[in-house]
Amino acid sequence: MRGYEYRHIVTIEDTDLLGNVNYVNYVRWQGRARELCMREFAPDVVAGFDDGVRLLTVSCQCEYLRELTVFDEVVVRMFLGELGQTQMTMTFEYWRQRPEGEELVATGEQRVACVRPDERGHMAPARIPESMRRLMDAVSAGRR
């Protein structure tokens, strides 16, 4: 298995009035997987790059295939989609853990850009720092 895994147990806090996981939590788990991966492989990203580069989420989406409910165990797997000079895409799969095996319950995607303030203080595109490239290499190599 290639990719980075974030494991989560659904709690009442994650659910809506109908007892299903509220849709916003899937996006929250994407962010959590991304940030925990950065913490493990590129901690300088979270603290802020030395040269002023910042990570900006450009787009985020999720497609819901099955409902999750309280105490479901879910594994969010993050993969590298595309890696450009200033932007990258990460894809996500959400797998419910069951005794008989895993069940795909959702998929998602995030596109992020690296930016740096220019001389007027406006954000301008910046090259993806080497630490971020190392992070994506780690994800591609299947390290967790």
- Least confidently predicted of 21-25, 78-82, 134-138: 134-138
What is residue 3's DSSP assignment?
A: S
Asked if pLDDT for residue 73 goes beyond 60, the answer is yes
User: Could you tell me the CA-to-CA distances from 87 to 80, 105, 114 in Å, in that order?
Assistant: 12, 27, 6
- Please give the model's pTM, rounded to 2 decimal places: 0.87
End-to-end CA distance of the chain: 10
Q: Which of 53, 60, 58 has its CA nearest to residue 124?
A: 53
Asked if pLDDT for residue 9 goes beyond 90, the answer is yes
Q: State the number of CA atoms in the 13 A half-sphere of 126 facing the CB.
A: 20
> What local confidence, expressed as pLDDT, does residue 144 receive?
45
Asked if pLDDT for residue 104 goes beyond 50, the answer is yes
> What local confidence, expressed as pLDDT, does residue 49 receive?
60
The residues that bridge with 48 in the sheet, in sequence order, are none
Q: State the number of CA atoms in the 13 A half-sphere of 14 facing the CB.
A: 19
Choice between 136 and 29, residue whose per-residue pLDDT is larger:
29
Which pair of tokens denotes residue 18?
A: 């109908």
| Distance from C-alpha of 109 to C-alpha of 89, rounded to nearest angstrom | 7
Choice between 137 and 7, residue whose per-residue pLDDT is larger:
7
The residues that bridge with 20 in the sheet, in sequence order, are 69
Given pLDDT bands bounded at 50, 70 and 90, which one contains residue 69? very high
Which pair of tokens denotes residue 85?
A: 């000079």
